[in-house]
C-alpha cells in the first residue's frame, strides 16, 4: 500500500472517528453508504473514503426545517410583534 492509497482503519477506529457505535457503522456499510473491504475475517475502511462520506453528509441550509415546524401560536406571536 502506498501513502496515496490513504490509511486503513479498523471498524472500531472508523466508528470512533465518525462518532458512531459499530452497529451503525455496519449498517452504513451494508446499505452501501460507506465503502469497506473484507480481508479474510477482517473489515477495513480507507480514511480517504471516510472523509468523502463526511463531506457528502453535509447538511444544506433548509434541509432540517421539517424538524422544527412553526406552530400556529408562534406564527401568531411573530405576526403580532411585527
For the stretch 33-75, pLDDT in tens is 999 999 999 999 999 999 999 999 999 999 999 899 887 555 6
* pLDDT score recorded for residue 75: 60
Residue 73 lies in a domain: no
Q: Is 39 a member of any domain?
A: yes
Whether 20 is covered by a domain: the verdict is yes
What would the grid cell of residue 27 be?
449498517
Residue 3 has pLDDT above 80, yes or no: no
Residue 53 belongs to some domain of the structure? yes
16, part of any domain: yes
Domain interval for residue 48:
10-57
- Write out pLDDT tens, residues 9-32: 999 999 999 999 999 999 999 999
Report d(CA 78, CA 40) in Å as an integer: 61
In a domain, 19, yes or no: yes
**Residue 33 DSSP one-character state:** S
Asked if residues 53 and 14 have their Cβ atoms less than 8 Å apart, the reply is no
The answer to whether residue 30 is domain-embedded is yes
* Cell 457505535, residue located: 21
Are 5 and 16 in contact by the 8 Å Cβ rule? The answer is no
Q: Residue 1 domain-assigned?
A: no
Q: How many domains does the chain have?
A: 1
Amino acid at each position: 500500500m502506498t501513502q496515496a492509497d490513504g490509511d486503513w482503519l479498523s471498524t472500531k477506529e472508523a466508528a470512533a472517528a465518525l462518532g458512531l457505535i459499530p452497529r451503525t457503522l455496519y449498517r452504513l456499510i451494508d446499505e452501501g453508504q460507506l465503502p469497506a473491504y473484507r480481508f479474510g475475517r477482517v473489515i477495513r475502511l480507507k480514511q480517504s473514503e471516510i472523509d468523502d462520506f463526511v463531506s457528502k453528509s453535509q447538511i444544506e441550509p433548509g434541509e432540517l426545517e421539517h424538524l422544527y415546524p412553526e406552530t400556529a401560536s408562534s406564527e401568531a406571536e411573530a405576526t403580532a410583534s411585527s
